[in-house]
Amino acid sequence: MNASESKNFSPAQPPALRKRRKPAPAFAAPQHSGRLLVRLAPQDTAMFRFLLEAYDHTAYFTVLEPKTALLKIVFSPHLEKETRTALAEMAQSLPFCIEEWPVACRPQECKKALR
């Protein structure tokens, strides 16, 4: 290495001394969660869980009817596009049917209905 190269070369700094990146601005907290229904064969529930977990906290599910394998998918409204994309990719490996959540009310309408 010559003198001009040694001026531009700096050894890697330890992590504690590196300049930290600013985090991305956070989204506003959602007032409600997005939901979808999924129907699949009961024996495929474990594979569905395995595939969904591969998409790193995009959504989670709960089993509504174990015998018929009716699942409720819950996700953040900010991640709806990513969740639907993940489900579409999963459908290439595993046969299942996606349905819209039957109760669709806006948060303002839900609050009025509770009063």
pLDDT single digits (tens) 3-22? 555 555 556 777 677 777 77
CA nearest neighbour of 51 among 38, 64, 33: 38
Q: Check whether 41 has a pLDDT greater than 90.
A: yes
Dump pLDDT digits (tens) for 71-87.
999 999 989 999 999 99
Q: Check whether 40 has a pLDDT greater than 70.
A: yes
The structure tokens listed for 34 are 């997005």
Beta bridge partners, 71, equal 38, 63
Q: Which helix (H) or strand (E) holds 97?
A: strand 96-100
- Global pTM reads 0.66
Q: What is the pLDDT of residue 28?
A: 79
Cα distance between residue 59 and residue 40, in whole Å: 17
